[in-house]
Structure formats: structure tokens, C-alpha cells
Amino acid sequence: GENVEQHPSTLSVQEGDSAVIKCTYSDSASNYFPWYKQELGKGPQLIIDIRSNVGEKKDQRIAVTLNKTAKHFSLHITETQPEDSAVYFCAASWDNYGQNFVFGPGTRLSVLP
Amino acid sequence: DGGITQSPKYLFRKEGQNVTLSCEQNLNHDAMYWYRQDPGQGLRLIYYSQIVNDFQKGDIAEGYSVSREKKESFPLTVTSAQKNPTAFYLCASSRPITGGVTGELFFGEGSRLTVL
């Protein structure tokens, strides 16, 4: 079955700097890759996703890149702000159905003022 | 506001006791899910339900049970058979996947269960 690894497990950046979180997956059949953000005491929330027919997707300060050959995808956050501090989870799935999502272990991002 | 409500937020249980976690949604979503979250691990699927009166085991269903008698409700029972029940439990729902809509998961705020 699918296995998703995520690095780093913790990341601290200065406010205004960029942050990059990388995930690798094992199943070449996976074609949907969402990223979820979990703020303290709350449930995760989808922030961006990408499909295998696209190499990059951007939404304001957040971007995701996908390298299907290498089986890895990354989350890029530019101009980080304190409210970006959270745990970020990547996931991989061979379809859009929630029961098939395989989540990475998460990255705790701290943005230092 | 539409959303998913989980209760209780914190729950303490003695060993050997069953406990039921509530999950209610007013998003009119057909699919609902229960995940378990442990420190340093990704979300792991316990049970899911695509329609009323039907549910399927996820990756770690042993020691848990669910019911889906109403579209809005998907309660999870943590039984005494669950060997390590202390964890953070998340309920989620998702829209039907039609017209290119992705399977975005909408999560509740979670229930933290501690077994004493």
C-alpha cells in the first residue's frame, strides 16, 4: 500500500522568510496530493492540493510542486507570518475519496517574530 | 454556520469502560470519517461511511465501533477491547465527488480521550 513520508518533522523560520516542507510517496498510482493545516486545538483544514497532471499550483503565498518521476511533492510558503504557525500534513491518494487518503506524519512549523 | 461538531472536547475514562464520541454535521455531506491522531503520526482512518446505514472498516478498526442511523450523525464508540485508546480523535465529512469537485475533508475540532 501507499506510504507517505514527510520532512522535516519540525521547522522554525523567521517571520518573512520562506518555509518548505517535502513529502515523498511510494505508490506510482497516486494522483491526488492535498495539504492540510492544523492550528492548535482545531481540526485540519485543506489549504491547497495538486493533481498529477499539474506540476505546480499557487495560491497567494502558498505553492505546491509535484515531481511524479521522483515521487515527491513540496509545500512552499513565502513571506511567512506568525499565523502560519501550525502543523502541516501532506497526503496522497489514487483517487479523490477520503477513505483512500494516506497522510504523512506532519510538520510543526513555528514562525518566529 | 455549517460545520462539524464533535463532543466532548475532552474525555477521561477508566480502563475497561466503553466511551462514545459524538460527531454531528450540518453540511449535508454523505460521507463521514473517523480518524485517530497520535503524536508524530499521520491521521489514521478508523471507520468511514459513504451513506446512511452503511459503514466500512478503515486501517485501525479493531476495538472501535460506529453507527450511521442518520445522515447528520456518525458516533464512534471506543470499546474496552481497544488496547491503547488514549489519543486525539477527529471526525470528518466530504462532499460527493461530482463535476470535478475534489474529495476535500472537512474536520471537526476533535475529541481528546485519556484513559486513566
The answer to whether the CB atoms of B103 and A102 lie below 8 A apart is no
The answer to whether the CB atoms of B102 and A9 lie below 8 A apart is no
Q: Give the pLDDT of residue A100.
A: 86
User: Which residue from A95, A98, A104 is facing B105, i.e. has the nearest CB?
Assistant: A98
The answer to whether the CB atoms of A98 and B107 lie below 8 A apart is no
- Could you report the per-residue pLDDT of B5-64, keeping only the tens digit for each? 999 999 999 988 999 999 999 999 999 999 999 988 889 999 999 999 999 999 999 999
Residues from chain B contacting residue A42 (CB–CB below 8 Å) = 109-110
Asked if the peptide bond before residue A8 counts as cis, ω within 30 degrees of 0, the response is yes
User: Which residue from B58, B104, B107 is facing A99, i.e. has the nearest CB?
Assistant: B58
* pLDDT above 60 (res B111): yes
* Cell numbers that stand for B21 in this block: 464520541
Measured CA to CA, the distance from residue A15 to residue A9 in angstroms comes to: 19
* pLDDT above 70 (res B71): yes
Pick the closest to residue B95 from B103, B84, B86 (CA basis).
B103
* Cell numbers that stand for B17 in this block: 469502560
Give the mean model confidence (pLDDT) for residues A70-91. Answer: 97
Residues from chain B contacting residue A45 (CB–CB below 8 Å) = 107
The angle formed by the CA atoms of residues A58, A103 and A77, to the nearest 5 degrees, is 30
Measured CA to CA, the distance from residue B88 to residue B38 in angstroms comes to: 7
**C-beta of residue A13 within 8 angstroms of C-beta of residue A109:** yes
* pLDDT above 60 (res A80): yes
Measured CA to CA, the distance from residue A28 to residue B115 in angstroms comes to: 40
* pLDDT above 70 (res B82): yes
Q: Give the pLDDT of residue A21.
A: 98
* pLDDT above 70 (res B1): no
Q: Give the pLDDT of residue B95.
A: 80
* pLDDT above 60 (res B99): no
**C-beta of residue B46 within 8 angstroms of C-beta of residue B111:** no
Measured CA to CA, the distance from residue B28 to residue B46 in angstroms comes to: 22
Q: Give the pLDDT of residue A53.
A: 86
* pLDDT above 90 (res A52): no
Give the mean model confidence (pLDDT) for residues B86-109. Answer: 84
Percent of chain A with pLDDT over 70: 100
Strand partners, B73: B24, B70
Which residue is listed with cell 512549523? A109
